[in-house]
Structure 1
Amino acid sequence: MEKQSGSNIYIRPLTGEDSEPLLDLENRNKDFFERFSMSRSDEFYTLDYQQHRIKEFQQRQKNDTGYDFGIFTKEGKLIGTISLFHVMRGSLQSAFIGYFLDKEQNGKGFTTEAVKLIVEFAFHEVNLHRIEAGVMPHNAGSIRVLEKAGFHIEGMALKNVKINGQWEDHQVLALINPNDE
């Protein structure tokens, strides 16, 4: 289920062999990632937890409730993660998207490429109708990534997600499967 872009990266589901590189990625980017996500316990930054996390990713995929991928360079180095989560079926056929990229790799277009790859997967292989993203308004880089990948701004969700003990507003962006319009 590997997806490759025309240039510098590919995405694929994480396996047990990725637990050490995933732990390294999380440890090196701890302060950076936690600026945009909820606080994580000390246990999160252990190899055991990352192995458990990958098993949860695999179970979510089996259950069709989430699809979690690593973002890899052409050379095979793990530089980030990207996920479709809260997959909803029935009359919704939707999911949320989330991603993290190594701070050293920002500004190179890798996240935009990864978003385009997971969108292609979502619309063509998982048959979703809609993908939604929530981004803190001050995270202009992430909003730009989503807009470059075709997402449009729908509005503001006030005090939507608790991050580092504070309820944060989130800009809501979405993309509709063009085959469903």
Structure 2
Amino acid sequence: MSEQQVYIRFSEETDAAELAAMYKRNQEFFEKFSPSNQEELYTEEHQLQKIMKYKADMMEDRRYSFVVCHKENDRIIGSVDLSFVMRGPLQNCMIGYSLDQAYNGKGYMTEAVKLVVRYAFDELKFHRIVGEVSPRNPGSIRVLEKAGFHKEGISRSNVKINGKWEDHQVLAIINPAEDVQL
């Protein structure tokens, strides 16, 4: 296997400006596949507030937010979130991610998703992780498939994007340490 090109870490307050700049650069691209974002998403202040909220969420086991950094220059090129954390008998969460369009198609997000999945299974002890992707975004579906996720079905009229309800492909991965058939 080739040497790792990216690494992940939890977002920090000092990342706010770099994250705001990445989202602003990619605003048109991200909004094609994500729920309509408010303009403040692209400000440093909003990113700072988001990071502080995510840190509190992490302390309460509700959400885990990572930045994806390119090893060559430590630049933030994306983000990966584990949200909708459900404990008890479910032990699952949902994965979501964004990658600077300039870095698409190089395997970086697949690498980052694999790192987050490993962390989710080994450290957070999740049993299952679900991802939901617009069928209009085959590259994102490939990211999850290459990271070991399997297609499960379509959630019809699932997410409102740019004023229109859209279907989403549901993919999931089960913790291999717990994937025991009875």
TM-score for the superposition, normalised by structure 1 = 0.95
Say yes or no: does 1:65 pair with 2:68.
no
Q: Output the CA distance in 2 between the equivalents of 1:12 and 1:172.
A: 26
Deviations 1:141-171 (CA, angstroms, capped at 9, x unpaired): 0111111111000001000111111111001
Cα distance between partner residues in 1 of 2:86 and 2:136 = 28
Q: Equivalent pairs: percent with the same residue? A: 50
Deviations 1:74-93 (A, max 9, x none): 12100000010001000000
Structure 1 residue 111: deviation in Å?
0.4
Question: What SS does the aligned partner of 1:178 have?
Answer: coil
Q: What is the DSSP-based 3-state SS (H/G/I as helix, E as strand, rest coil) of the residue aligned with 2:90?
A: coil
TM-score (norm 2): 0.95
Within-5 A mapping of 1:20-169: 20-74=17-71, 75-169=73-167
Query: Any idea what SS the aligned residue of 2:177 has?
Result: helix
For residues 96 and 6 of structure 1, the distance between their equivalents in structure 2, rounded to whole angstroms, comes to 27
The superposition leaves residues 2-35 of structure 1 with CA deviations (integer Å, 9 ceiling, x where unpaired) of: xxx9411000011011001001101100000111
Secondary structure of 1:92 counterpart:
coil
Higher mean C-alpha displacement, 168-177 vs 41-50: 41-50
Gaps of 5+ in 2: none
- Aligned pairs, number: 177
